[in-house]
Chain A
Amino acid sequence: MKLIFERSREGRRAGTLPKPEGLARAEVPEELRRRRPPRLPEIPENEIVRHFTRLTTRNFGIDTGFYPLGSCTMKYNPRVNERVAALPGFRDLHPLQDEEGSQGALELMVELQEILAEVTGLDAVSLQPAAGSQGELTGLMLMRAYFADRGEAGRRKKIVVADTAHGTNPASVTMAGYELVKVDTDKRGNIDLDDLRAKVDDETAGLMLTNPSTLGLFDEHIEEIARIFHETGGLLYYDGANLNAVCGISRPGDMGFDIVHINLHKTFSQPHGGGGPGGGPIAVRRHLEPYLPVPAVVRDGRRYRLEFDRPKSIGKVRAFTGPFGVFVRSYAFILAWGRELKTMSEDAVLNANYLLARLRDAYELPYDRLCMHEFVLSARKLKREHGITALDVAKRLMDYDFHPPTIYFPLVVPEALMIEPTETETKETLDDFADAMNAIAREASEEPDTIKSAPHNRPVKRLDEVKAAKRAVVRYRFEEHPDLAAEPTASAATEAPRGV
């Protein structure tokens, strides 16, 4: 399909602008004036609409079908949330509008903060971080500020992270200026307590943990883990990526965590938008509240206001008070569940366990326990016996009109298939998916080549990622654009390399 630049013809245009009469023309000084115009496409409006509409037909979303992407919580995104986010009083509200003129927005934020505090079992919330990974970084900055205040920042240099953690955890540790200490997973999929005890001392600032873990397992020793850190004065950070499993059932604050981030785009249904936006509010215990980003959004009786005067605050992690449009959608979503939010998590866990029960014969289950909202299978046996990898299974699922699960993660499971159905799926959808997965397992012995050459009914077949990385063509170059089709194609990536 053509790029939009390849549809451009000089002199065409879509948008027109007002031209106020009698307005004198202002001039940019010569040395600052643009010499060569940017080569934006010149194209009529209907062709723009057709171009992007055609692109949407080459994309898969939750609205298209089942999307069991582990750790991503791809649940239905209610349309009413879009409707309310587009109310002019929200959409067309300037962030610097005076407090008098933004009482409704501030009230919404205060209410959302209170809801998130209740759901996490903590005391204070900042909605500012733009996404989960920024929530993580903010949480680590809070740790630093807290220990600096206690005169311990120089000593407490280390953050402990589980080997099953999302890559964002270790990356955030480095960006926050901490040293990473990795802790192993034991045979039941919990944190290895002996390994942990050996690695935690008074130089440890804290722990970052996802619970349930990326294996979809609730750590059975969570109370002991919290004790180990709190006894040495460390803090516990909860990566809320998997909060969808435990709303109304077990709260991070009650588990012993001091700082939590919540992915509004996972648990609370903000659409992922092809990669973003998200929202990563953080909730903390009372003693960490003074360090939260500014401005705080606070309630004064029936009035709402922004509070900037927080001398111990870490500062700002993004502009204004956060991704407000995301708050509107998540708030609307939570209103629909209200105090029955527990049912959401129960159904998410039930759906996951049902799928697990239906798939455990055809695929290996490395940690044989009941799961929470997601579970991790291994295609190791298919690979050994038939040369069919997790990647092959993923690609073949597309032929059955399903989005594949997360693959090759977590790293502790070879040929991992990480499956998270969420609560917004019917039993029939789960059955159809299980039937497809089981059919693929059968095909592995009967017609492996059909799997290896999948997908068969998509706009493109498997893509040459080696060529993409080597050539690094990351923008259109107009007349000088290379013709990659004329260059040899490697046998496209068939397996994720395991590295050394």
Chain B
Amino acid sequence: MAADESYPDDLRYHREHDWARIEGDEAVLGITWYAQDALGELVHYEPPESGSSVSKDSTYGEVESVKAVSDVIAPLSGEVLEVNQVVVDAPETVNEDPYGNGWLVRIRLSDPAEAEQLLDAAAYREVLAEQ
């Protein structure tokens, strides 16, 4: 069952429809409700390798629905600590719970100051309004 539209206030957003939940020097990353809705039900998640590094504004993985494929853009830079195996096994988890069980990777931040460049929920909603 698809989730209802929401953009939680405790997250930071990237204009390419990705979010980050910053927890100290680590962050959990995922895609926004808007992104999963635009893609439709996800059928595949191609994750990065654990231990690889991701850099802000670059692709770190792919998500696919039946007829669309999308790069996942890292909102922040760092090293991949953990890949969400739940999503690898059941990609539709992202549709059901994009900000909870549908997270994609956990990273250790290499430059926590980058977070200042991200959008808050209100600013991200403005980005969506322009689409």
- Give chain A's interface residues, CB within 8 Å of chain B: 408, 465-466, 468-470, 490, 493, 495-500
Q: How many residues of B contact A (CB 8 A)?
A: 18
CA distance A408 to B66 in the complex (A): 14
Total A-B pairs in contact (CB under 8 Å)? 43
Residue numbers in B under 8 Å from A490 (CB-CB)? 41
As a 0/1 sequence over residues 39 to 50 of chain B, the CB contacts with chain A under 8 angstroms (1 = contact) are 111011000000
CA distance A373 to B38 in the complex (A): 33
Any A CB within 8 A of the CB of B65:
yes
Nearest Cβ distance between residue A243 and chain B, in whole angstroms?
Answer: 28
A498 and B68 within 8 A (CB) = yes
A469 and B39 within 8 A (CB) = no
Closest to A491 in B: B41
Closest to B44 in A: A469
Residue numbers in A under 8 Å from B35 (CB-CB)? 500
Known contacts A497-B38, A498-B38, A500-B17: A469-B43 contact under CB 8 Å:
yes
B44 and A499 within 8 A (CB) = no
B67 and A497 within 8 A (CB) = yes
Closest to A464 in B: B66
Highest count of chain A CB atoms <10 Å: which of B40, B44, B69 = B40
Highest count of chain B CB atoms <10 Å: which of A470, A490, A495, A500 = A500
Residue numbers in B under 8 Å from A466 (CB-CB)? 41, 43, 65-66
Nearest Cβ distance between residue A465 and chain B, in whole angstroms?
Answer: 5
B70 and A499 within 8 A (CB) = yes
Nearest Cβ distance between residue A293 and chain B, in whole angstroms?
Answer: 33
Closest to B36 in A: A500
B68 and A499 within 8 A (CB) = yes
CA distance A499 to B38 in the complex (A): 5
Residue numbers in A under 8 Å from B64 (CB-CB)? 469
Known: A493-B40, A497-B67. 8 other contacts (CB 8 A): A408-B67, A469-B43, A469-B44, A493-B67, A497-B66, A498-B38, A499-B39, A500-B38
CA distance A145 to B34 in the complex (A): 46
Residue numbers in A under 8 Å from B67 (CB-CB)? 408, 465, 493, 496-497
CA distance A499 to B42 in the complex (A): 11
